[in-house]
Amino acid sequence: MKTQISGLIYQKQDGFKENFKFSSLLFWFLLISFLGLAALLSLGSKSDFFREFGSYEFLKSFIQGEDSFTKIIFPFFKFFILITPLFLFTAIELNRKIGGFPNSSLGRISTSEGFKFADIWYFLIKTISSQFLFITTFTTLGISNISSTFSELISDIYNKVLPPTNSEFQAVLIVISGILISDLVSYFSHRIAHRIPLLWDLHEFHHSATEMTILSNYRISQILAAINSIIFLPLSALSSLFLLKTLSQSYVLPFVIYVIYNAFFAFQQNLAHSSIKIIYPKIVSYVFMSPSIHWLHHSTNENHYDCNFGNVFSFWDRLFNTYLDESNIEDIEGFGIENTEYNKHHPIYSYTFLPIIKILKRLKIA
């Protein structure tokens, strides 16, 4: 059975084979999540979890590159871990034998409107710039530094007020609370980006992709992220403190929960911006957002505007009446923003200078 959906072709596959394919993909996101959290905790001043299990020195040596071998090999290892899911996605799509590579998520990069292979540029720019603080400072107009400073101040206040964690059960509740607060902040920051003209000027960049390519997920405005971090600073700082304070202890279950959440978040984000149609069973979709209904959020159909803002959990959209289910997918006519300025320039310009120019014009400075 094949269904044509706005150029996206979905074919039902054998359940076991499909589950195995996506389980292998989820494994990589679990690995990425584990290494990321391990890096965060092993570099921190409180690393009780890894000291408790005898892996602290190994992780610290490997992640910090304390010898010549790890200094050389770790950057390549990180890049390999980062790009492997992209090839796994493509392999799964090609295995479906529908339309070949041009119809796959990566294959659609060449047909997305604007600069040729723009999504590859944005992927590389985002990956490289994240390694250099001065680039982030420049692309966010220094707002990221302000946010970081105030975040530390608020965290210090929270740290003095909040009681210590005395049991693993309490730690689990705190981690889950931190995750829910973080996801709620993400929902509202996304929603106001569609409501406030200045913020929409920046968020429009993410909606400039006219194809779901996986890499379109990297069209993220760094200035918008920095502004949102200030707007929601009290909640974000509380969420971060909940998570870091609990995860730095030697409790296993909170660590496992957060690794799985981070992996599932990355898994969701990549699937949601791919050409693979994935709809969860009805009972699951009451809690988790089916990846493919995020297509509706990027749809050019006016009936789909301002829907499905959530990342992982669907209950925020259901609670605030912004949820559209999978029955609307067949009404998708296309993706992206027609004649958006972000598709008229080189990706480097669109990523760095165009957002600044848009802010100045909105404020009537330029």
For 113, list phi and psi in degrees, rounded to 5: -65, 150
Residues 26-39, mean pLDDT to the nearest whole number: 65
In a domain, 226, yes or no: no
φ and ψ of 150, to 5 deg = -65, -30
Classify each residue of 293-325 as buried b or exposed e, where b means 16 or more C-beta atoms within 10 Å of its C-beta: bbbbbbbbeeebeebbbbbbbbbbbbeeebbbb
Q: Is the pLDDT of residue 317 over 90?
A: yes
Q: Note the Cα 364 to chain centre separation in Å.
A: 32
* Residue 63 maps to a domain: yes
Q: Find residue 4's DSSP bridge partners.
A: 9
78 vs 278, more confident: 278
In a domain? residue 1: yes
Distance CA 262, CA 267 (A): 9
Cβ neighbour number for residue 43 with a 10 Å cutoff: 12
Model pTM score: 0.78
Residue 3 in any domain: the answer is yes
Phi, psi of 10 (to 5 degrees): -120, 130
The continuous run of DSSP H or E covering 134 comes out as: helix 133-139
Top mean-pLDDT range of 15-19, 32-36, 211-215: 211-215
Residue 343 lies in a domain: no
**Position 188 in a domain:** no
**Alpha carbon separation from 172 to 34, 97, 163, 249, 262 (Å, rounded):** 17, 43, 15, 12, 15
Q: What pLDDT was estimated at residue 257?
A: 87
User: pLDDT per residue over 65-81, tens digit each?
Assistant: 444 544 555 566 666 66
Burial 55-89 (b: 16+ CB within 10 A, else e): ebeebbebbeeeeeeeeeeeeeebeeeeeebbebb
Q: Is the pLDDT of residue 219 over 90?
A: yes
pLDDT tens track for 127-169: 887 766 545 554 555 554 555 555 566 566 656 666 667 788 8
Instruction: Report pLDDT for 71.
Output: 53
Number of domains present in the structure of the chain: 1
- Taking alpha carbons only, the member of 156, 227, 237 closest to residue 196 is 227
Residue 117, in any domain of the structure: no
Share of the chain above pLDDT 70, in %: 66
Return all residues near 204 (Cβ < 8 A) that are at least 6 apart. Answer: 337, 340, 342
Q: Is 231 exposed, middle or buried (0-12, 13-18, 19+ CB in 10 A)?
A: middle
Q: Is residue 365 situated within a structural domain?
A: no
Secondary-structure breakdown of the chain: helix, strand, coil percentages, each rounded to the nearest 5: 70, 5, 30
Backbone angles phi, psi at 274, to 5 degrees: -105, 180
Residue 341 predicted with pLDDT over 90: yes
pLDDT at 116 over 50: yes
Please, are residues 220 and 273 in contact by the beta-carbon 8 Å criterion? no
- Does residue 8 sit in helix, strand or coil? strand
Does residue 355 or residue 163 have the better pLDDT? 355
The DSSP result for 60-73, as a single string, is HHHHHT-SHHHHHH
What domain range is 58 assigned to?
1-104
